[in-house]
Structure 1
Amino acid sequence: MSDPRPSRRALLKGTAMTGAAAALLAIPAAALQPDPVFAAIAAHGSAHKRIMAMDSTDAGFDALMDEEDGLWKAFCACRPTTPEGLAAYAAHAAAYPDLDVLPGSCGLSQVISNVAEALSALGMGGAHV
């Protein structure tokens, strides 16, 4: 007949598993999600590369310009949620050739505001703007 009491090893293993589960539950849900800025960068970067490969007289150029503009606006509306996303966001914005002439919610002031808010949210300094 087997002993109905759990072994010390089984108890310790259960405690370790419970601790790991508690640690996972303590992580904010946002931290478990991929940073949305990577998708915004990929989408905008793809459209921008296609524009750079075209001539303004090519069929579909105007439609692609509209698409790229919409994707840039989506990028500017996106706020990084991870340090890696913040670094990628800043690098993508810095590489955009017209950043310094774009107005308002699509321009440099919005990018700087998003960087400051991401720094604040990540506990890395920055200020709410």
Structure 2
Amino acid sequence: MVTDLAVTRRLVIPAGELHERFSRSSGPGGQGVNTTDSRVELSFDVARSPSIPDDLRPRLLARLANRLSDGVLTIAASEHRAQLANREAARLRLVSALRDAAAPPPPKRRPTKPSRGSKERRLAQKKRRSDVKRGRRGRFDD
């Protein structure tokens, strides 16, 4: 049973917009390894999905640009032996990727200056270090 994916409060992906493909998975699997299609590829069309709000779409496309193929985000899961477990893993990864991409940008950095006390401490430390090194210089009286 495929259900809708709740990414954020504003973004819910209907089950009809998700496309799953199954294939044989590599790795351990026991006797059924050659007959079971347990690998899952979950695809979601980010560029043309009507469920994505118009103000959010450019941010998603920009942040997911290196993972998209023709506007489609594809997540593959094959770490579990069971198809259902791989389906769930793929859905969780899709939600995580979309949630990270939909997050608002961090606030702008406000440049700050070092305090007067920190400048004085830094210069005093430099002076102490200089005195230590000056004390180590060789005094050769020939």
Provide TM-score, normalisation by structure 1: 0.28
* Higher helix residue share: 1
* Higher strand residue share: 2
Which structure has the greater CA radius of gyration?
2
Provide TM-score, normalisation by structure 2: 0.26
